[in-house]
Structure 1
Amino acid sequence: MAPMLSPWTWPKPAKTPAFKSLRQRVLVVEDELIIGELAAEALTDAGYEVFTAASAEEAAIILRDMSVDILFTDIDLGGQDGFELAQTALSLQPFLSLVFTSGRSRIYHGRCASVGVPFLVKPYRLTELVETVQRASTARSKQ
């Protein structure tokens, strides 16, 4: 006699393939996990599809596997820094927009401004983050 399966043990139906989102995709790279999660939540609430990474190396793996529109990265990540990550990202996805952040504003602000890349000084307000990413997204769509 065959065992009777309860509804809780039935195999789950196959999922239908997910359609690519029409929302802008943002990769948030932040080694301070709480800050990264808060940034990701704010951007998700603003309507972006958000992915997170805690290191440049983890972000590079994501960038090899998935197309993103905007890279929002801390510069001081430990290991590879945000500038090295940006070079890798642009070699993989040349039309990617960049936004940098750091608590060391005096060192990095001028460097970012000289190449026309948005820079957010830490600590930043989440509204500033969303506005900066929106500007980067708008600039990207005009390319």
Structure 2
Amino acid sequence: MRVLIVDDDAIVIQSCQRVLEAEGMEIRTARSVEEGEQALNRGDFDLMLTDIKMPGKDGFEMIARARRIRPDLPILMMSGYSVAETIEKSSQSGANHCIAKPFTPEELLEAVQHTIQENPKRFAIDGGTGK
């Protein structure tokens, strides 16, 4: 499974990358919406994780661009702001699922699994691990 992580925080990227690679996923990272868009134009991904709050363009803009490039791409939104309005806005913008920061490795894996299960036609989930 190929995953694109878009976040301006290097620690978040490294943490997510470590957890997901340990599950056998192939990770590509981007530190801005522009880098994320370039990655989507160049590669085929099975899932995108994106932060909401980033300098310049935000995660909602990243989702809009992703939906133009890959309308069927499952998207997991990460947010340090887990208020109801943020969750609702992420859903309305096209995110399949939202996870509140900070999260544990187990919470991340559960959110990834939930997100890909929402798109069963796209994935053959091996033993429920999402690999």
TM score, norm. by length of structure 2: 0.84
Q: Report the residue type matching 2:119 in the other structure.
A: R
Higher radius of gyration, 1 or 2 = 1
**Worse overlay, 45-54 or 105-114:** 105-114
CA distance in 2, matches of 1:80, 1:113: 18
The alpha-carbon distance between structure 1 residues 137 and 117, as it changes in their structure 2 partners (threshold 3 A), is closer
Aligned to 1:32: 9
CA distance in 2, matches of 1:116, 1:60: 16
Shift of 1:135: 1.8
State the number of aligned residues. 120
The gaps in structure 1 that reach 5 residues or longer are 1-23
Aligned to 2:112: 133
The gaps in structure 2 that reach 5 residues or longer are 123-131
Shift of 1:41: 1.1
CA distance in 2, matches of 1:130, 1:108: 21
The alpha-carbon distance between structure 1 residues 29 and 134, as it changes in their structure 2 partners (threshold 3 A), is same
CA displacement, residues 63-98 of structure 1 (integer Å, 9 cap, x when unaligned): 110011111000001111111111111111111001
CA distance in 1, matches of 2:53, 2:13: 13
The alpha-carbon distance between structure 1 residues 59 and 113, as it changes in their structure 2 partners (threshold 3 A), is closer
Aligned to 2:89: 111
TM score, norm. by length of structure 1: 0.77
CA distance in 2, matches of 1:90, 1:84: 10
Identity of aligned residues (%): 32
